[in-house]
Amino acid sequence: MSPMNRALEIAATAADEQGALPYAAVVVLDGKIVGEGLNRAMALFDPTSHGEVEAIRDACKRLGTTNLNGAIMYTTAEPCSMCVATMLLAGIAKLVYAADAEDSAAFMGKLSAKNPTARRRFSMAQLREQVGLPVDARPYMPMEREGQGESVAIFTSFAQRHA
């Protein structure tokens, strides 16, 4: 079975799982599937439980590392900004996706029309826009700064003990 077919197979299971959405992903490294994930954000009350993030968590746990350099992510839909950032942090080298952002928005629109609790605070386009803004320019999340000196002292202490 191809990695994309496996991701699609996982996504299809969401219809029978309370609180799951059909966004699934697999991580492939050296030709083997090393991680799998399904969006269980509503089931787990965890907004970070997207298929891509779950697949990365699974792969990292299985491999005992946070370094997935060279891996390929196969996902059933174009990832959101959070998932892209997580892929970049983990070292995912390539993304292969099925549905695009418009397909996903149409699906979520149909879903939220039937289930108001499924409504998102931001569309994927709005999320990308907000994430790309400087920290002090995000209108939906005002910023304050506090404790810089103490935080830097902790960083310095840690670096001295672990360098």
- Rounded to 5 degrees, φ, ψ at 83 are -70, -40
CA 11 to centroid of chain Cα atoms: 15
Angle at which helix 81-90 crosses helix 124-132, to 10 degrees, equals 60
User: What is residue 102's DSSP assignment?
Assistant: H
**Cα separation, 59 vs 151, whole angstroms:** 31
**Which 3 state secondary structure label does DSSP give 30?**
coil
Which is catalytic among the residues 36, 52, 54, 78?
52
Question: Known catalytic residue: 52?
Answer: yes
The Cα–Cα gap between 152 and 159 comes to 10
- Directed axis angle between helix 124-132 and helix 101-114, to 10°? 120
User: Do the Cβ atoms of 105 and 123 come closer than 8 Å?
Assistant: yes
Which positions are catalytic?
Answer: 52
